[in-house]
């Protein structure tokens, strides 16, 4: 997530330079053919091209809307993870106790149980964010060079260190090996949580009705996890993505044929007063076509890069930061020493990951 | 669900070749009449045609939006099935126990009860996905040849083996016969689940309050099932679908009458410099009309194929895969041997079913 | 609800024949005045007419969207009734029992209580669907002849037999008389359900906590009922409906004045080559105007017929079928003999009511 | 809420007569200047004016959409109040009882307690609807004369009698004085309900767990109340409302300058055949400009009057009727004599308040 | 939040004066070049510029829609805080009692406990609103002078006094120091609430099941808090904001090149009748271009200022007022003396903060 006011003009120009050059080149070629070779038959009526343009604007508008919907939904889900995490922290804090225990245990034992429940929760969030940053077959933003340049400036925490290393901080070795052996690690962790609180219930450290409440918190976490996985595993329907792309391209291909003759006419009409300028006026069509194509192309590309909010781009939902923020929060509430609590991931190039 | 970046140009061209040829042919006929037979009276003003085009773009835009809404809602429902399935697994795991049993039973009996509850859940998902893939009277994508070609390349698991065969893996014979005798098999299965946990409650293997919780999980499953059936049983309102189709066709029918004269004019104006090209320039109208009609037709067709997310096309919500994924998940949590757990359905042609 | 692929061209033509004739006639009159009487001053600039057309397309687009929203919401509510009905069946089945009864009763008594609870539920659904099919002062589709033709081909179950006759099948005479004496019969039935389960709770046939659960199911039924009544009792705001209608008409009224002169010009320009055709070309404006007006009018009319999803048209949400489906479902689960379970309402002309 | 099919043409014409006259006058003045004074330089190109028109149509479209959203949400909230009111009635009916009372009381005492709980609920609804009909500083529809004419034809129940008088029917004098002394009367009433059921719980007339259920019903009522207050207290953001209004006006101001010259041209072109008509043809621009301006203005005004669904216009959500309907419902369920139950508020001019 | 009917024309003119002058100046320069220097080659065809205009209107329309969505969601969240606060007040009032206390305490002790729970809740709301008014790196409205002028006329309560001073009114010194030492003060306060009710449960002043209910109210507060923080911490995606801005600017830059030649033509055509006016007519293009640019720019700017509903502008969601309103409400319900209850924040310049 970009955290500054906006992308600078320079950012935009650099990011879109490839298509800009392509459109300049393409319009240039048509203009050369039209003007230099005199192929003035490279000419289609402008108004149907504009009609296609309107229809394309419509399609891309909806696509951008959907992409925004996906980003916003993803952010909502991770916001809900924040809320339920805090609830988990609070309920664990105040529902694990000797109040109903037939054989009360010492305060330090209770504290340790709470610590384990909180650490395992952090492990779950960690496993989930690693799962979100894996690559899907339709996530191909990194194949474009201008996207890769952005990627190279920022460091995705999930690519810097491995999940296994991270889990060492939160789980016993036994549990860690068990979890790493399962394909869906986050699910395994929630099952472990449930087994743990059940054990605590069986020895009376959790009241039976509090146990039901805590199970329902775990149910909620399953829901958030599943929603996050749904967005990861189900792309914006490829048929719509394909259609937008191809329609935009059809429009961009037809554009110079519709515009260059109009510039030629204008140039023609000014040859009396400005002979030289009139003669070369048609070349203004080149940047002009490029601008129009660029506008449509960039709208379409914006929709494309926004589709997958966990792909590892600078426009991602910042799940590493959110997850780490919660970890800090929960560990502070355990009254841990500040020195052992990790610090937040730094922003690079104003990008929060 | 297509899992690659996008449909290739070749895919699109092949898939839409029939209408492409038709539009080329239609525009060709009008051009022949106009040019060869000299029927230059085949001419209507372009701007009202463009106005219809704008209105049609509007209608189709909304239809695509609705179709996307249906797909996304279907995916959400199946995502919720995933979440509630995991919750069911977790709660069964930790709520079936001897804790409140007046006459405790052996661990293996408890384990077997859990297994039955989980397997019957898989049976429910299986029955549901078979129900989703049956054919409705308004699901007619398979009648189009170019759609059928796609269908033939992929194998819909529900068409490869029968429900009865599948249920053998999860249910006792008695239960299976009972279930197969009911019209709505998935409902019957949930009733069986409820009767089962009630029996367990009566003998004390499920605490009475845990029984209420589990009943509420079943209630949720009824909700997901009902939502999925709702999308299956209630098509996008046919009146809107009809209107979009007919308006698109009216637009495509009028288009050449509006465009060919414009090309004729342009051709006329260039006969001085390029006699031959000017003479034949009108024929450029043929591909051009086809491109515009193709764009509108394809947008409309995209909406049409997207309407029914369980119809068995390459754009379906991948319910077989989701369902099988959960089965694998739940059985791994039962600590079953990997060798008896089925593997995921393979992707064919990058299509996940 | 239409259950076939789409309305046929014939259906559409017949259904809209009145306005088609009107628009042909209207455009004809203007053309006669323009051409025969030579009133060529019947002429307004086309572009502002097109701008109104664009604005109207906008308004109608939103209206169709809202109408679709209402249909879809209505369908969701009745889908939720399906789900909660199944839940009611399941919970009644497994929560009415001797488990907590101080004085256990025979199984047949329990079975009878369950039967009454299920039959009264069917009575509730029946009362609700009759309430939904009554006529509201803004439901006037039946006043249009072409709509009435459709109505006459199908039989609305709620108009074929009376509610009182239907309730005889599900309620004791005493209860039936009581219910029929209340203005809101469905509400009275839910109050009866609540009083019944309370009585069962008092004698111990329902556990006190299960009683709370069942009360909450009744609460949910109140919610679904209220939502369905809300859509019935609150039309699409009449001010918006009025505005769309009048704007569409203003547009259709202005249209020929904008278009006929354009056809006149085209005709003029071809008199050299085709004298006769050029002379009569202006008459092409008549069908052309009618097509454009028809397109806008039909979009507006589609929105209008879709506004009220329980009005008794072929586009209604099929509440009779849904309700009967649930009845069959629930009675099969009571293991009733198939011979006494009613069959589904038949589809007529591919319309499910 | 209007309950007839639509506003009549006469209603619309009368309601918008002021702006119609203004636009006629304005276009008339420009035409006089153009034609009579010969200021033909009052001329701007039409196409950019049309572009502004398109953008304005967009803005107003969204505004109408939002206004509809507010109306619909308001209606949903009051629908939810209906549902929760019925639930309250049902639960009070079946949860206040001697079942857990250590010292059982007579049936008539219980009945009286129920009556008080139901009457106080009606008092709450009454207080809420009075609160909804107070005037906010941004509710200024009554300042327009044509709106006031509509207002004068209908009688808003909340303006006919005072809240204090109404509350006399439902509350003891002591409670009424207490409630009237609080700024937010509806909140005070719910606090009283809670204190009452708590007292009943303390003496055992409400089971402790039923008490929790009833508290949750009160929580829901707080939610509905708060949502209704939110819509009342938070207008459609004034910056958007201002922008739509000013853009519409800018468009209407520019319109004649763009259109009159076009009519002048058309008139010019017909002077040969119809000298007199051609000479005066430009005057057709006056009604034509007025029609276009009227269309845009009325769309914008529709959005404006729809913004505040509790403002006391004929398009309001009919909260008086809804509230009274529930009162009748609930008192019938108390088996009160029909003679003491109030009747529904009458519709006036087909407007339900 | 502005509470009057709308921004006055004067407000709008002043607020947008900078861009108005800029656009006047820019169009003036081009016109000078075109007319005075005779650079008539500063000329591009108008229709593609209009197409860009249409696409931009689309983008800005969606952006405004999203901005409105954010404002409305923020208002909903704070409305929900109102509701849950009242619920908290009600439940604390009626669930803290001697009913289950093994060692009953005096009424004044109970009253004091309730007071603490309510005051701490007010402290939570206060901490939350201070958190909402801190500045984010993408909140840059205050950097624009015309925005700052508005800011200077109103006083944001959170900038007038410090959080620490405010908390003194609601918390003991010990708790205050503890809370102020935590980064997320509102979270810490809810943890304290939970610990407090747990303590009350342990001594029997809260029934164990009521404790679970109250924990769930705290869970809800965590949810509202988290949602509010989500909107604060996650801006409207900067890539979309950047794109809208740059597209609007591209459009505004191209506009004069498309329009001035059209005015030049019109001026040309009137030189015969009005020589002087015709000669200078082109200068009308300057205000006209400025009007069109102003319309688009202001739409875009409206979207921009609406993005962040807690930024401290006159269009903010009025969280100070809402929060103070609830405080007054809750303290009145504690039957505190009016003299110690604070009064509502005053409106300044019709702006509620």
Read off the pLDDT of residues C24-50 as tens digits, 9 standing for 90 and up.
999 999 988 888 887 777 778 888 888
Tell me if A9 and E246 make a contact (CB, 8 A cut-off): yes
Q: Which two tokens stand for residue C85?
A: 């009905």
Could you tell me if residue D353 is inside a domain?
no
Please count the other Cβ atoms lying within 10 Å of the Cβ belonging to residue B159.
12
Interface of C with D in 211-250 (CB under 8 A): 212, 215-216, 218-219, 222-223, 225-227, 229-230, 234-235, 237-243, 245-247, 250
- D189 CB neighbours in chain E (<8 A) are none
Give the confidence band of B283 by pLDDT, cuts at 50, 70, 90.
confident
Neighbouring C-alpha atoms within 13 Å toward the C-beta of D20:
10
pLDDT for E128 equals: 96
Are the CB atoms for D203 and D103 separated by under 8 Å? yes
Interface check B24 vs C, CB under 8 A? no
Give chains near B: 3+ CB pairs under 8 A: A, C
- The 3-class secondary structure across chain A, one letter per residue, is CECCCCCCHHHHHHHCHHHHHHHHHHHHHHHHHHHHCCCCCCCCCHHHHHHHHHHHHHHHHHHHHHHHHHHHHHHHHHHHHHHHHHHHHHHHHHHECCCCCCCCCCHHHHHHHHHHHHHHHHHHHHHHHHHHCCCCCCCCHHHCHHHHHHHHHCCCHHHHCCHHHHHCCCCCHHHHHHHHCCCCHHHHHHHHHHHHHHHHHHCCCECHHHHHHHHHHHHHHHHHHHHHHHHHHCCCCHHHHHHHHHHHHHHHHHHHHHHHHHHHHHHHHCCCCCHHHHHHHHHHHHHHHHHHHHHHHHHHHHHHHHCCCCCCCCCCCCHHHHHHHHHHHHHHHCCCCHHHCCCCCCCECCECC
pLDDT for A321 equals: 93
Closest-CA residue to A295 (of A255, A265, A266, A241): A255
Tell me if B137 and C5 make a contact (CB, 8 A cut-off): yes
For the four alpha carbons of A260, A263, A268 and A272, in that order, the dihedral sign comes to negative
Give the confidence band of B199 by pLDDT, cuts at 50, 70, 90.
very high
pLDDT for C143 equals: 78
Tokens 């059809």 sit at which residue?
A250
The CA-atom distances, in angstroms, between D192 and each of D78, D184, D187, D327, E108 are: 22, 13, 9, 19, 20
Chains E+B touching (3+ CB pairs under 8 Å): no
Tell me if B266 and A43 make a contact (CB, 8 A cut-off): yes
Are the CB atoms for C55 and C167 separated by under 8 Å? no
Could you tell me if residue E1 is inside a domain?
no
Looking at the predicted structure, is the pLDDT value of residue E218 above 90?
A: yes
pLDDT for E166 equals: 93
Could you tell me if residue C350 is inside a domain?
no
- C66 CB neighbours in chain D (<8 A) are 68
Read off the pLDDT of residues E25-58 as tens digits, 9 standing for 90 and up.
999 998 888 888 877 777 788 888 888 888 888 8
Give the confidence band of B88 by pLDDT, cuts at 50, 70, 90.
very high
In percent, the amount of chain B with pLDDT more than 70 equals 99
- B195 CB neighbours in chain C (<8 A) are 93-94
Tell me, what DSSP letter sits at residue B237? P
Read off the pLDDT of residues C178-232 as tens digits, 9 standing for 90 and up.
999 988 999 999 999 999 999 999 999 999 999 999 999 999 999 999 999 999 9
- D305 CB neighbours in chain C (<8 A) are 239
0.85 surpassed by complex ipTM: yes
Q: Among partner residues E140, E188, E250, which is closest to A5 by beta-carbon distance?
A: E140
Closest-CA residue to E43 (of E222, E312, E285): E285
- C47 CB neighbours in chain D (<8 A) are 46-47, 50, 262
Q: CA E30, CA E28: separation in Å to the nearest integer?
A: 5
Q: Is B292 exposed, middle or buried (0-12, 13-18, 19+ CB in 10 A)?
A: buried
Could you tell me if residue E122 is inside a domain?
yes
Could you tell me if residue A31 is inside a domain?
yes
Q: Which residue of E has its CA nearest to A270?
A: E41
Tell me if A278 and E41 make a contact (CB, 8 A cut-off): yes
Give the confidence band of B36 by pLDDT, cuts at 50, 70, 90.
confident
Write down the mean pLDDT value for chain E. 89
Read off the pLDDT of residues B122-137 as tens digits, 9 standing for 90 and up.
999 999 999 999 988 8
Please count the other Cβ atoms lying within 10 Å of the Cβ belonging to residue B116.
18
CA distance B324 to chain A (A): 14
Measured in degrees and rounded to the nearest 5, phi and psi for residue A313 equal -100, 175
Q: CA C35, CA C33: separation in Å to the nearest integer?
A: 6
Q: Among partner residues E3, E47, E54, which is closest to D138 by beta-carbon distance?
A: E3
pLDDT for E57 equals: 86
pLDDT for B269 equals: 77
Read off the pLDDT of residues D139-165 as tens digits, 9 standing for 90 and up.
877 777 877 787 778 888 888 899 999
Domains identified in chain C, total number: 1
pLDDT for B26 equals: 93
Are the CB atoms for E85 and E125 separated by under 8 Å? yes
Structural domain including D304 reads 9-340
pLDDT for D59 equals: 84
pLDDT for E278 equals: 72
Q: Which of A46, A57, A322 to mutate to test the interface with E (most CBs of E within 10 A)?
A: A57
- D58 CB neighbours in chain E (<8 A) are 57-58, 61
Read off the pLDDT of residues C297-327 as tens digits, 9 standing for 90 and up.
988 888 888 888 998 888 889 999 999 999 9
pLDDT for C124 equals: 97
CA distance D222 to chain E (A): 6
Tokens 């660029």 sit at which residue?
A294
Give the confidence band of B25 by pLDDT, cuts at 50, 70, 90.
very high
Read off the pLDDT of residues D316-343 as tens digits, 9 standing for 90 and up.
899 999 999 999 989 988 888 888 999 9
pLDDT for C23 equals: 93
Cβ partners under 8 Å of residue C326, min gap 6: C81, C82, C85, C86, C122, C125
Q: CA C116, CA C112: separation in Å to the nearest integer?
A: 6
CA distance D170 to chain C (A): 23
Looking at the predicted structure, is the pLDDT value of residue B177 above 90?
A: yes
pLDDT for E306 equals: 80
Most confidently predicted of A148-162, C89-103, D25-39: C89-103
CA distance C295 to chain B (A): 7
- B305 CB neighbours in chain A (<8 A) are 239
Per-10-residue mean pLDDT of chain A, 353 residues long, equals 86 88 92 82 81 85 87 94 95 93 93 96 96 88 78 84 93 94 92 95 95 95 95 90 89 89 81 73 87 89 86 88 93 88 89 86
In percent, the amount of chain D with pLDDT more than 90 equals 47
D-E contacts at Cβ under 8 angstroms: 174
What is the mean pLDDT of the segment spanning B25-37?
A: 88
pLDDT for E261 equals: 85
pLDDT for C121 equals: 97
Write down the mean pLDDT value for chain C. 89
pLDDT for B35 equals: 81
Could you tell me if residue E4 is inside a domain?
no
What is the mean pLDDT of the segment spanning E311-317?
A: 85
Interface of B with A in 43-62 (CB under 8 A): 46-47, 50, 53-54, 57-58, 61
Could you tell me if residue A350 is inside a domain?
no
Q: Among partner residues E89, E274, E298, which is closest to D41 by beta-carbon distance?
A: E274
What is the mean pLDDT of the segment spanning B56-80?
A: 90
Looking at the predicted structure, is the pLDDT value of residue B144 above 90?
A: no
Read off the pLDDT of residues E64-86 as tens digits, 9 standing for 90 and up.
888 889 999 999 999 999 999 99
Looking at the predicted structure, is the pLDDT value of residue B324 above 90?
A: yes
Lowest mean pLDDT among A170-184, B141-155, D174-188, E148-162: B141-155
Tokens 């164990």 sit at which residue?
E208
Lowest mean pLDDT among A335-339, C275-279, D235-239: C275-279
Could you tell me if residue B348 is inside a domain?
no
Q: Among partner residues A83, A298, A317, which is closest to E222 by beta-carbon distance?
A: A83
Read off the pLDDT of residues D282-320 as tens digits, 9 standing for 90 and up.
888 898 899 889 988 988 888 888 888 998 888 889 999
- D55 CB neighbours in chain E (<8 A) are 53, 57, 295-296, 299
Interface check B317 vs C, CB under 8 A? no
More confident residue, D216 or B64: D216
Q: Which two tokens stand for residue C215?
A: 């009360």
pLDDT for C6 equals: 85
Q: Is C181 exposed, middle or buried (0-12, 13-18, 19+ CB in 10 A)?
A: exposed
pLDDT for D189 equals: 96
CA distance D246 to chain E (A): 8
Tell me if B94 and A242 make a contact (CB, 8 A cut-off): no
């Amino acid at each position: 997530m970009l955290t500054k006011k906006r992308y600078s003009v320079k950012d935009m120009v650099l990011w879109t330079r490839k298509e800009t050059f392509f459109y300049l080149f393409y319009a240039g070629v048509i203009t050369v053919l039209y003007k230099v070779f005199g192929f003035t038959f490279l000419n289609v009526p402008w108004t149907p091209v504009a009609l296609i343009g309107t229809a394309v604007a419509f399609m891309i508008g909806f696509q951008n809307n959907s992409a925004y919907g996906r980003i916003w939904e993803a952010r909502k889900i991770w916001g809900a993870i924040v809320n339920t995490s805090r609830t988990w922290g609070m309920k664990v804090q105040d529902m694990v106790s000797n109040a109903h225990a037939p054989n009360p245990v010492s305060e330090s034992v209770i504290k340790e149980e709470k610590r384990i429940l909180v650490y395992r929760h952090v492990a779950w969030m960690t496993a989930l964010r690693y799962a979100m940053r894996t690559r899907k077959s339709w996530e191909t933003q990194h194949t474009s060079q201008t996207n890769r340049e952005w990627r190279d400036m920022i460091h995705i925490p999930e690519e810097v260190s491995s999940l296994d290393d991270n889990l060492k901080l939160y789980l016993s070795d036994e549990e860690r090996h068990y979890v790493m052996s399962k394909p869906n690690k986050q699910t395994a962790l929630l099952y472990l949580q449930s087994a743990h609180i059940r054990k605590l219930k069986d020895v009376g450290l959790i009241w039976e009705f509090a146990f039901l409440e805590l199970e329902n918190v775990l149910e909620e976490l399953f829901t958030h996890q599943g929603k996050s996985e749904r967005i990861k595993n189900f792309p914006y329907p490829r048929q719509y993505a394909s259609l937008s792309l191809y329609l935009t391209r059809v429009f961009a291909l037809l554009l110079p044929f519709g515009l260059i003759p109009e510039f030629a006419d204008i140039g023609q009409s000014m040859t009396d007063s400005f002979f030289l300028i009139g003669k070369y006026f048609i070349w203004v069509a080149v940047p002009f076509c490029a601008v129009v194509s660029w506008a449509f192309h960039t709208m379409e590309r914006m929709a494309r890069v926004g589709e997958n909010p966990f792909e590892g781009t600078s426009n991602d939902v910042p799940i590493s930061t959110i997850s780490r923020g919660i970890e800090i929060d929960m560990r502070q509430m355990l009254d841990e020493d500040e020195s052992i609590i990790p610090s937040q991931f730094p922003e690079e190039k104003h990008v929060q990951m």
